Amino acid sequence: MLASEQRAAASQLYLDRNRPSFDNDDPFVACAISKDFLDQWRQFLRYPTRNVPPNSIVNAPLLCPHEKFVFNPECDEEMDGANEELCYVWQHEWNTLTQTYPYDHVITVTKSVTEGDVRELVTSPDVCTECCYARIQERAQHVENYRYGTIYVRKITKDHSEKDIEQALNDSASSKDGYSFDPDFQTPPDSKKPKLNRDSRNRRSSRHRKQRGEVSLTVGSTETLRDVKLQLMKSFSVMPMDQHLTLNGVPLSNNDATLITLGIKPGSLLLLQIDEPQGAISQDALPVSNAPEEGFKGTGLLGHL
Ligand SMILES: [Zn+2]
Tens of pLDDT, residue by residue over 241-260, are 999 999 998 999 999 999 98
Taking only the tens place, the pLDDT of each residue in 23-48 is 888 899 999 999 999 999 999 999 99
Higher pLDDT pick, 239 / 267:
239
Alpha carbon of 76 to ligand 1 centroid (Å)? 19
What pLDDT band is residue 83 in, cutting at 50, 70 and 90? confident
Angle at 242 between CA 144 and CA 276, to 5 degrees: 145
Q: Cβ contacts of residue 89 below 8 Å, gap of 6+?
A: 13, 19, 20, 30, 31, 33, 97
Looking at residue 286, what is its pLDDT? 44
Alpha carbon of 64 to ligand 1 centroid (Å)? 5
Alpha carbon of 34 to ligand 1 centroid (Å)? 18
Alpha carbon of 78 to ligand 1 centroid (Å)? 20
Higher pLDDT pick, 236 / 193:
236
Global pTM exceeds 0.75: no
Alpha carbon of 52 to ligand 1 centroid (Å)? 34
Alpha carbon of 135 to ligand 1 centroid (Å)? 10
CA within 13 Å, CB half, 290: 0
Taking only the tens place, the pLDDT of each residue in 95-104 is 999 999 999 9
Going along the chain from its start, the domains and CATH numbers come out as: 3-127 (3.30.2230.10), 145-274 (3.10.20.90)
The torsion angles phi and psi of 268, rounded to 5 degrees, stand at: -65, 145
Alpha carbon of 181 to ligand 1 centroid (Å)? 18
Higher pLDDT pick, 149 / 128:
128
- The chain-wide mean pLDDT, for the chain, equals 79
Alpha carbon of 139 to ligand 1 centroid (Å)? 16
Q: Are 184 and 212 in contact (CB under 8 A)?
A: yes
Alpha carbon of 95 to ligand 1 centroid (Å)? 27
